[in-house]
């Protein structure tokens, strides 16, 4: 497939290649909307569910390296409880979310069946420098920063009161690095977010503050598969990673804006 129907791909990085090394699996399908389009539910399943199974089989045959994998807060889906703690009943609202739940189940099964050291993280809305805005399924923060700097309006699906628990990429990297170095093992999923709750309308204001620009809003109908509110219970994360201090949105958004401005300046040279 090609263009907007390009199949998602799975990426596995190998930070260490010793006999008892580490596998860090960060699959990269084109988010929830893509999984609802055309044949992409199958592609999403291949990248996440089948891809995870292949990684785990390779790990099992390689004397059991430490496997860390990225799941998603989308597994909570229609469950309205806030904040979202890991013991909540999952209620996926998209094929993508189902594949991430399958990823978690495979990790747990391989841990209990083959004593494989695993750690599944539920990523929430990760953002920060280096996150592109120039593809069909770009995340909201880079897409809106790019629009603001270009003098364009931002598109808000719904009334903008829906909330998200945004997590700065530097915080995510800090947690992942700590997990790698200390070989943290937990077969149950761990929320990788710190319990903040920001509406999309408030996010626009943060971008206005960071850019010093007035941002025009354009409201359109809500999207199928989007959950209205998302906020992590971070108790398990804080217990496992007590030394990690999260970067606040008021610091992270300006950092992302700075990256975009440097990119624009470089492209104009």
**CA-CA distance, 90 to 245, in Å (whole number)?**
28
Q: Which of 96, 106, 127, 168 is catalytic?
A: 96
DSSP track, 77-95: TT---SSB-TTSPP---SH
Residue 96 annotated among the catalytic residues of the structure: yes
Going 88 to 89 to 94 to 99, the CA torsion angle's sign is positive
With a CB cutoff of 8 Å and minimum separation 6, the contacts of 95 are 35, 36, 40, 41, 44, 45
Q: What are phi and psi of 204, to 5 degrees?
A: -60, -40
Helix (H) or strand (E) holding 57: helix 51-61
How is the chain split among helix, strand and coil, in percent rounded to 5?
A: 45, 20, 40
- Contact yes or no for 170/128 (Cβ under 8 A): yes
**CA-CA distance, 189 to 121, in Å (whole number)?**
6
Going 145 to 72 to 238 to 67, the CA torsion angle's sign is negative
Per DSSP (E only), the strands in 84-133 are: 118-123, 125-127
- Residues catalogued as catalytic: 96
């Amino acid at each position: 497939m090609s263009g907007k129907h390009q199949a998602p791909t799975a990426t596995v990085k190998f930070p260490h290649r010793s006999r008892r090394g580490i596998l860090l699996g960060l699959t990269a399908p084109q988010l929830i909307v893509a999984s609802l389009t055309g044949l992409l539910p199958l592609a999403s399943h291949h990248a996440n569910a089948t891809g995870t199974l292949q990684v785990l089989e390779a790990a099992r045959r390689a004397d059991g390296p430490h496997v860390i994998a990225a799941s998603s807060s989308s597994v909570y889906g229609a469950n309205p409880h806030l904040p979202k703690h890991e013991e909540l009943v999952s209620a996926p609202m998209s094929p993508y979310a189902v594949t991430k739940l399958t990823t978690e189940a495979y990790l747990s099964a391989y841990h209990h069946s083959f004593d494989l050291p695993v750690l599944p993280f539920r990523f929430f809305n990760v953002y920060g420098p280096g996150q592109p805005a120039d593809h069909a399924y770009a995340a909201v923060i880079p897409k809106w920063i790019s629009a603001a700097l270009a003098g364009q309006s931002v598109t808000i699906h719904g009334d903008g009161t829906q909330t998200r628990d945004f997590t700065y990429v530097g915080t995510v990297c800090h947690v992942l690095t700590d997990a790698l170095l200390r070989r943290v093992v937990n077969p149950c999923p761990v929320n990788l977010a710190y319990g903040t709750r920001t509406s999309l309308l408030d996010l626009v204001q943060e971008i206005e503050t960071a850019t010093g620009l007035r941002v025009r809003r354009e409201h359109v109908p809500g999207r199928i598969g989007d959950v209205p509110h998302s906020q992590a219970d971070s108790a398990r994360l804080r217990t496992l990673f007590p030394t990690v201090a999260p970067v606040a949105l008021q610091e992270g958004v300006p950092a992302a804006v700075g990256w975009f401005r440097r990119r624009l300046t470089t492209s104009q040279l």
